[in-house]
Amino acid sequence: MTVLEAIKNKALEIAQLTEEIKILENKGGLSKFFRHKGLIKKLNLAESFQYDLIDDYLSENNTEYKQLISANYDLLETPNIHFTVYSESHSLFGNRTKEIRGDIQSNGYSYCYSTKTNINAGYFDSMSFPSEFEGSVDHWGSVHLKSTELEYGMFKSFPVKYQGYTDKDGFIKIKVIETRVEWDKKTTIGKLIANHFEYDENKNIAFQENLDRFRMMIAEFKENIQI
């Protein structure tokens, strides 16, 4: 099945779910509430999946879309980016963050959240912390980083700030440049914040305008789908 065929299949599924919801909303009874909630969830998932498929299709087949993607990666490229821990968390079974995810917001900052922690393997492991992360940011500004190196010490060190770079393909690599002593071995990174445009508001404005154009092109594509 081609991407275009998958998009059309999702359009048909969305149309059918929308009709089911419409019919259900005109009915009464307690069962309506539970079924309605399930259908809405299915519809949201189908629309989200179709959105990603259209993004993939336009990325491969639309010249303007390709140019906008390239422009956004150019805007994101920087030899100097800082990620700062601005919130802590606690892990029941672990002591360090393994994975973080987030998105660049309209102000040019990404707000990333810890999505995975380790399972503590003993005392020596409990004295470790993530000293390096690697991952990527895509043309939408979605950030995904994984811990790639650890450091150990006699006392539990907690990372405060990371510094690194973003290359022309969206690859990110950051290393710790500041730590503090943390007596609670269960403390982990909760949230990280970073400005992705070297505090250049013109770059951020250009990036956000490209995102608006992405959304517009996807909406126009959806309107013209022939089921």
pLDDT, residue 125, reads 58
Residue 209 near residue 109, CB atoms below 8 Å: no
Beta strand pairing call for 97-104 and 78-90: unpaired
Residues 67 and 10 in one domain: yes
SS3 percent helix, strand, coil of the chain, rounded to 5, is 40, 35, 20
Are residue 105 and residue 172 in the same domain, yes or no?
A: yes
What total of structural domains would you count in the chain?
A: 2
> Which class for 8: exposed (0-12), middle (13-18), buried (19 or more C-beta within 10 A)?
middle
- pTM strictly above 0.85: yes
pLDDT value of residue 113? 94
Residue 123 confidence (pLDDT): 62
* 100 and 68 together in one domain: no
| Average pLDDT score over the chain | 88
Are 193 and 218 contained in the same domain? no
The segments of the chain whose pLDDT lies below 70 read 28-33, 88-95, 118-127, 154, 156, 182-187, 227
Considering the domain architecture, whether residues 45 and 61 belong to the same structural domain is answered as yes
Task: Identify whether the C-beta of residue 130 lies closer than 8 Å to the C-beta of residue 114.
Answer: no
Secondary structure class of 221 (helix, strand, coil): helix
Between the CA of residue 99 and those of 48, 189, 208, what are the distances in Å?
Answer: 23, 10, 26
Statement to judge: residues 63 and 173 lie in one domain: no
- What pLDDT does residue 184 have? 62
Residue 34 is predicted with a pLDDT of 72
Q: For residue 158, what are the domain limits?
A: 78-198
Do 145 and 52 have their domain in common? no
Tally Cβ neighbours within 10 Å of residue 166.
Answer: 23
At 60 the pLDDT is 95
Please indicate, yes or no, whether residues 114 and 189 belong to a single structural domain of this protein: yes
The phi and psi torsions of 11 (rounded to 5 degrees) equal -60, -40
Residues 64 and 148 in one domain: no
Give residue 163's identity as a one-letter amino acid code: Q
Looking at the structure, tell me whether residues 24 and 66 fall in a common domain. yes
For residue 190, what pLDDT is reported?
A: 83
